[in-house]
Structure 1
Amino acid sequence: MDEKQQEIIMGLIINGGNAKGEAFEAIKAAKEGDFETADEKLKSADEFMAQAHNAQTGMLTAEANGDHAEVNLLMVHAQDHIMNAITFRDLAGELVDLYRKLATKQ
């Protein structure tokens, strides 16, 4: 694996982890009734996910152009981080909405 590919993979892991962390912070803020912060955290999570998505798109484009990437455990780990972050972000959005709905009924 060359240094450029390793940097891309580490970027995927970092951005996926940051997106998941921000989504978790959004849930915590919503639970406390701070929906402005929750919305900001979800937006931040989306920004981290966009960075990860752009890196993935670059890798997919290179692959489609015949520049085959070496698939190794680190690459699998990075993709796992991204998949978990996407799922967690989606769930966080639903939980923030649920807390918002509950707050309006109280």
Structure 2
Amino acid sequence: MSELKLEELTEEQICFQMILHSGNARSKVLQALRLYREGDIEKVNEMLADAEDNLSLVHKVHFQLVQQEAGGKQPELSLLFLHAEDHFMSTLTMKEMVKEMIPIFQELKS
């Protein structure tokens, strides 16, 4: 997955990239949970790794924005940006919950 360069994107494009990759990660996390229920443990780990890749990209973009603000560049806070951050944070939470739930489910099966 290629890294996004903020200087090449408009603020709107940055937001849409964050939403896109957070959404991809969310889909992978939910797919991992479904695959676990179907017993396909090998693909579960693959889906979670794909989710991590997408979230890593969003995290890098988000971190660049934080660095810019720390350097004195005030960001324009739009509803679209808040929506993008919400997608990112809720997907991070969902991923962590699923990663904690799967071992619990495995213990209950044994």
Superposed pair shares fold, TM > 0.5:
yes
Percent identity between the aligned chains? Answer: 27
1:81 to 54, 77, 87: 87
Corresponding residue of 1:13: 19
What is the match of residue 61 of structure 2? Answer: 55
Deviations, residues 6-53 of structure 1 (Å, cap 9, x unaligned): 111111111111111100000001111111000100111111110000
What SS does the aligned partner of 1:67 have?
Answer: coil
Q: Count matched residues.
A: 102
Aligned residue number for residue 91 of structure 1 = 97
1:19–1:45 Cα contact (<8 Å) kept: yes
Per-residue CA deviation, residues 54-98 of structure 1 (Å, 9 max, x unaligned), is 000110111111111100110110010011100110111122222
Greater RCO between the two (CA within 8 Å, min separation 6)? 1
| TM-score, scaled relative to structure 2 | 0.86
CA RMSD of aligned residues (A): 1.2
Q: Unaligned 5+ residue runs, structure 1? A: none
Structure 2 segments unaligned to the other structure (5+ residues): 1-8
User: Corresponding residue for 1:64?
Assistant: 70
Q: TM-score, normalised by structure 1?
A: 0.89
